[in-house]
């Protein structure tokens, strides 16, 4: 695809990546940060140029609305998120929001009014790095989690989601507020695969069949502080060495269950974290995923006993946070994506999502589907994250086609008959 890096979508992706840019081509634009507010302003400006109507809701989700003929009909949504990991990349989230905006910009320019509102959406705090766990915006929108509970979550500096949301809304006083939630006719999300399957197969489009199940936990190890030079080894209750034994055992046992398991300790916080003080406390995160819910449950159940066995003289408390079983996306929308790819001559294949996405929650509300594009080496959540311009264009083309089907259909949901 010649000239694809001169396309509006690619130029916008690169412009958005300047906000929160970090060395190595990465992006640090965490949820509800000044950077995300700046990203909103940029994206809202593009939406207004296209004649779309921006709005926000109490959960800090951003909506860019192309009005339809029947404003009372359930809208079609497409999007992803604008926040990144602290050491994140340029495509995770941004590609899905900007591809949806791009498709609506073309629909608006065509002058053909859709049957129902079509909305590009950016969900609040998908990543969950600053405020854990993530997907807060889609959870609140879909009624999975109450807004009060979400507003009470605090970041490492003690700032609450509630305060950060209020600052976000104060920073964009010109944006109309809409109520939280409401009926949705269908949801589409384009995203980088964050895995190696599509690249290895030479496919530019992945038809996502579902999302593997995920459990997360917070583990607290409680020992006793002491002087590194004086307290005898036998008398210590050292939280760091207890952590080391627990983590090594968990990784060896749970990480070896089968090749599809994913077990990660990504965050470790030691108190007081001083070189000559035996640590009194360690808190750490566990992220556990598997496509088979039975395996996931069996692995999750092993965590607390394994920690207790290895913690020696320290106490252990394991708190479950996220418990999201595997889900399957709408088969009719999957078929529609496959047909759109075939019509464009783009090689496509079914693929399971190993990562979680906001589409998991939307799938409980309405027919939903995801389109994956390859990313280099399967790398994401890192500055080296990269999607080829022609893969971005391919995914956006398929998204635009399916979105147009949904925009102009006489009635929704789409039926099998309409596809085959």
If the CB atoms of residues 171 and 277 are measured against a second copy, the closer one turns out to be 277
Tokens 């895995």 locate to: 195
**Cβ–Cβ contacts within 10 Å for residue 255, how many?**
13
**Closest distance between a second copy and the C-beta of residue 71, in Å?**
38
Q: Is 361 annotated as a binding residue?
A: no
**Closest distance between a second copy and the C-beta of residue 357, in Å?**
10
Instruction: Tell me which residues in 75-94 interact with a second copy (CB under 8 A).
Output: 85-87
Instruction: Tell me which residues in 11-50 interact with a second copy (CB under 8 A).
Output: none
**Closest distance between a second copy and the C-beta of residue 245, in Å?**
5
Taking the C-alpha atoms of residue 38 and residue 20, their distance in angstroms, rounded to an integer, is: 9
Task: Give residues with Cβ within 8 angstroms of 397, minimum separation 6.
Answer: 340, 344, 346
Q: Can you name the residues that pair with 192 across neighbouring β-strands? A: 373
Q: What SS3 class is residue 92?
A: coil
Taking the C-alpha atoms of residue 127 and residue 191, their distance in angstroms, rounded to an integer, is: 13
Taking the C-alpha atoms of residue 187 and residue 363, their distance in angstroms, rounded to an integer, is: 8
**Closest distance between a second copy and the C-beta of residue 305, in Å?**
18
Name which position in 56, 138, 194, 368 contacts a second copy (CB under 8 A): 194
**129 binds a second copy per the rule CB under 8 A:** yes
Task: Give residues with Cβ within 8 angstroms of 344, minimum separation 6.
Answer: 394, 397, 398, 401
**Closest distance between a second copy and the C-beta of residue 35, in Å?**
16
Question: Which is nearest to 187 in space by CA: 342, 327, 386, 385?
Answer: 327
If the CB atoms of residues 185 and 307 are measured against a second copy, the closer one turns out to be 307
Name which position in 12, 29, 283, 381 contacts a second copy (CB under 8 A): 381
Q: What is the dihedral of CA 236, 239, 241, 247, to 10 degrees?
A: 150
Q: Is 227 annotated as a binding residue?
A: no
Q: Is 127 annotated as a binding residue?
A: yes
If the CB atoms of residues 15 and 274 are measured against a second copy, the closer one turns out to be 274
Q: What SS3 class is residue 348?
A: strand
Torsion region of 72: left, alpha or beta (phi above 0 gives left; psi -120 to 50 gives alpha)? alpha
**Closest distance between a second copy and the C-beta of residue 393, in Å?**
23
**Closest distance between a second copy and the C-beta of residue 265, in Å?**
5
Taking the C-alpha atoms of residue 384 and residue 391, their distance in angstroms, rounded to an integer, is: 17
Taking the C-alpha atoms of residue 245 and residue 253, their distance in angstroms, rounded to an integer, is: 12
The site map against a second copy for 328-367 (x = CB under 8 A) is --------------------------xxx-----------
If the CB atoms of residues 12 and 289 are measured against a second copy, the closer one turns out to be 289
Q: Which stretch binds a second copy (CB under 8 A): 54-62, 146-154, 379-387, 396-404?
A: 379-387
Name which position in 3, 259, 345, 417 contacts a second copy (CB under 8 A): 259
If the CB atoms of residues 3 and 229 are measured against a second copy, the closer one turns out to be 229
Instruction: Tell me which residues in 131-190 interact with a second copy (CB under 8 A).
Output: 132-134
If the CB atoms of residues 227 and 420 are measured against a second copy, the closer one turns out to be 227
**Cβ–Cβ contacts within 10 Å for residue 170, how many?**
9
Q: Please report, for residues 77, 244, 272, the alpha-carbon distance to residue 186 in angstroms, rounded to integers and kept in the order given.
A: 6, 46, 49
Taking the C-alpha atoms of residue 351 and residue 338, their distance in angstroms, rounded to an integer, is: 12
Name which position in 15, 109, 244, 315 contacts a second copy (CB under 8 A): 244
Q: What is the dihedral of CA 41, 45, 47, 53, to 10 degrees?
A: 80
Q: Which stretch binds a second copy (CB under 8 A): 99-107, 220-228, 296-304, 341-349?
A: 220-228
**267 binds a second copy per the rule CB under 8 A:** yes
Cβ-contact 326, 365 below 8 angstroms: no
**247 binds a second copy per the rule CB under 8 A:** yes
Name which position in 152, 200, 248, 298 contacts a second copy (CB under 8 A): 248
Task: Give residues with Cβ within 8 angstroms of 100, minimum separation 6.
Answer: 78, 79, 80, 120, 121, 188, 190, 399, 403
Q: Which stretch binds a second copy (CB under 8 A): 167-175, 181-189, 252-260, 412-420?
A: 252-260
Tally of CA atoms within 13 A in the half-sphere of 266 that contains its CB: 16
Task: Give residues with Cβ within 8 angstroms of 179, minimum separation 6.
Answer: 57, 58
Binding region: 81, 92, 127, 191, 381
Binding region for Zn(2+): 81, 92, 127, 191, 381
Residues at the interface with a second copy (CB under 8 A): 85-87, 127-129, 132-134, 193-195, 212, 214, 216, 225-234, 238, 240-241, 243-248, 251, 255-256, 259, 261-280, 285, 287, 289, 354-356, 378-382
């Amino acid at each position: 695809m010649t000239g694809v890096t001169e396309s509006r979508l690619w130029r916008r992706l690169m412009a958005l990546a300047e906000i929160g840019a970090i060395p190595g081509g990465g992006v640090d634009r965490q949820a509800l940060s000044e950077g995300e507010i700046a990203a909103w302003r940029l994206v809202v400006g593009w939406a207004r140029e296209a004649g779309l109507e921006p709005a926000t809701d109490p959960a800090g989700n951003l909506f860019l609305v192309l009005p339809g003929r029947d404003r009372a009909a359930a809208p079609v949504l497409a999007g992803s998120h604008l926040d990144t990991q602290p050491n994140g990349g340029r495509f995770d989230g941004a590609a899905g929001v900007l591809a949806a905006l791009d498709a609506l910009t073309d629909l608006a320019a065509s002058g053909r009014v859709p049957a129902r509102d079509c909305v590009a959406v950016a969900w609040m705090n998908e990543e969950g790095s600053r405020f854990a766990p993530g997907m807060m915006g889609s959870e609140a929108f879909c009624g999975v989690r109450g807004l009060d509970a979400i507003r009470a979550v605090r970041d490492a500096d003690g700032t609450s989601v509630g305060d950060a949301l209020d600052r976000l809304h104060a920073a964009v006083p010109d944006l109309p507020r809409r109520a939280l939630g409401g009926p949705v006719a269908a949801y589409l999300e384009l995203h980088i695969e964050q895995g190696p399957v599509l690249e290895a197969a030479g496919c530019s489009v992945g038809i996502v069949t579902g999302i593997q199940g995920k459990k997360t936990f917070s583990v607290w190890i409680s020992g006793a502080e002491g002087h590194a030079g004086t307290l005898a080894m036998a008398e210590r209750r050292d939280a760091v060495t207890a952590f080391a034994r627990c983590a090594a055992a968990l990784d060896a046992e749970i990480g070896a269950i089968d090749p599809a398991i994913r077990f990660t300790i990504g965050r470790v916080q030691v108190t007081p974290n001083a070189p000559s003080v035996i640590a009194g406390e360690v808190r750490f995160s566990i992220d556990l995923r598997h496509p088979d819910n039975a395996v996931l449950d069996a692995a999750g159940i092993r965590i607390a006993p394994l920690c207790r066995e290895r913690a020696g003289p320290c106490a252990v408390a394991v708190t479950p946070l996220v418990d999201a079983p595997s889900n399957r996306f709408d088969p009719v929308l999957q078929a529609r994506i496959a047909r759109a790819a075939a019509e464009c001559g783009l090689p496509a294949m079914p693929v399971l999502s190993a990562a979680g996405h906001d589409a998991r929650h939307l799938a409980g509300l309405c027919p939903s589907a995801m389109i994956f594009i390859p990313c280099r080496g399967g790398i994401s959540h890192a500055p080296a994250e990269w999607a080829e311009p022609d893969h971005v264009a391919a995914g956006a083309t398929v998204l635009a086609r399916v979105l147009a089907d949904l925009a102009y259909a006489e009635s929704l949901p789409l039926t099998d008959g309409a596809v085959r």
